[in-house]
Amino acid sequence: MRAEGVQVQSPVTADGATDGEKPAAVILDATGLRTPADLASAHDFLSPAVKRLRATGRVLILADPPSDADSPAQAAARQALDGLVRSIGKELLNGSTANLVFVPEGAEASIASPVRFFLSGRSAYVDGQVTSVSAAEIPAAADAERPLAGKVAVVTGAARGIGAAIAKVMARDGAHVVAVDIPAAGDKLAEVANEIGGTALQLDITAPDAPQRLVEHLRERHGGVDVVVHNAGITRDKLLVNMDAARWNSVMAVNLQAQLDITEALLHADGVLKPDARVVCVSSQSGIAGNRGQANYAASKAGVLGMVRAWAPQFAERGATINAVAPGFIVTEMTAKMPFGTREVGSRINSLQQGGLPVDVAETIAWLSQPGSAGVNGQTVRVCGQSMLGA
């Protein structure tokens, strides 16, 4: 195994057998694959080990990226692991998950943070995902209980639902949270900020002066910002042929253009966005798979993914990262108002056969916000229980 700095305790031996106990996690180091024939060793290890996996267990595969392969055969063998891990995720029962991390040569130091996350209960609704890490300067280990201690984090759309959950998890992890939402949500926003000991900032992020107002607030009140979570979003659903310009434009303004404008302003505001900052953008499963009656919403959320990929190299030059999280069916006050049948279908068309919770999205965002996640950049992590839509 090339990842020398990481030690994982497991009762699974090299042949997939155990010492009689059911393992909580099965970790396969699949680096070094050269041909499809080498995949037989992956089967020989995983088959008996996965059979013994306990409820809510974790399967994690570490591998070389196909893009770095020396030959088509090697690329084929590495890419085969993608299909393997997604299939394992669909076969597992009792809340167990399977995920894959691609680790290029020289990026071994970057895998500790993803390994901890994917083996923990905080990744409970992240299944069948493929994440790539890159070489990065990983800071000295922070307080494991409060990895964001001393950090300032901005969370937009923080007055309710997923945004409120993000703010609470960020505060739990030690950050001072600047909770942002529109003035109409001022009372709810103040409740969230007061509960977590944060700061409430009433701001319409689509206003022309919103980016500059946020920049000035962060500079004057907090001396800058370490974490930015672009969570604010709206829906204005209608079939495309019946969708008026107001529905289209309002969704684009909140869900996409505001993220672009605020991030651009922070990048160019001297000394406000910290050199090792973390930016996390909330996209959606709809941005990957599309959704009937949501052409505007799906387009805006797909645009977020393109923005993240395009900005990742520039962020890496600063020692910073930008990533996206794409939630699937998350149980909120809004989904609770859906017809029972629609709600049941939405929550069950995934490998885990249940809906996610706002805290599942929040935990994934908190992981991507940690200093130790410096090697995860330009990635999209779906928090969807491995939804069958857009799989």
Asked which of 58-67, 157-166, 318-327, 352-361 is least confident by mean pLDDT, the reply is 352-361
State the pTM of this model. Answer: 0.92
pLDDT value of position 391: 56
Mean pLDDT of the chain: 91
The reported pLDDT for the residue numbered 23 is 94
User: Where is average pLDDT lowest: 104-118, 141-155, 212-226?
Assistant: 141-155
Give the length of the chain: 391
Which residue in 349, 353, 366, 360 sits closest to 382, CA to CA? Answer: 360
Q: Determine the Cα–Cα distance for residues 297 and 303; give it in Å rounded to an integer.
A: 10
- Band (250; pLDDT cuts 50, 70, 90): very high
Cα gap 227→282, rounded to integer Å: 13
Q: What is the mean pLDDT of residues 115-132?
A: 97
- Measured CA to CA, the distance from residue 133 to residue 68 in angstroms comes to 13
Q: CB of 192 within 8 A of CB of 118? A: no
- Residue 91 Cα to chain centre, angstroms: 23
Please name which of 39, 99, 100 lies closest in space to residue 65, comparing C-alpha atoms. Answer: 100
User: Kind and range of the H or E element at 312?
Assistant: helix 295-317
Strand order in the sheet with 25-29: 25-29, 58-63, 97-102, 130-132
Number of Cβ within 10 Å of residue 11's Cβ equals 16
- Alpha carbon separation from 196 to 170, 171, 191, 221, 281 (Å, rounded): 9, 6, 9, 17, 22
Count of CB atoms situated within 10 Å of the CB of 349: 16
**Cα dihedral across residues 268, 273, 275, 279: positive or negative:** negative
Joined together, the tokens standing for residue 299 give: 């387009």
Give the least confident one: 96-100, 215-219, 235-239, 376-380. 235-239
Supply the residues annotated as catalytic: 297
Please choose, from the candidates 104, 63, 68, the residue with its C-alpha nearest in 3D space to the C-alpha of residue 84.
63
CB atoms under 10 Å from CB of 67, counted, come to: 11
Instruction: Find residue 60's DSSP bridge partners.
Output: 27, 99
Structure confidence at residue 6 as a pLDDT band (50, 70, 90): very low
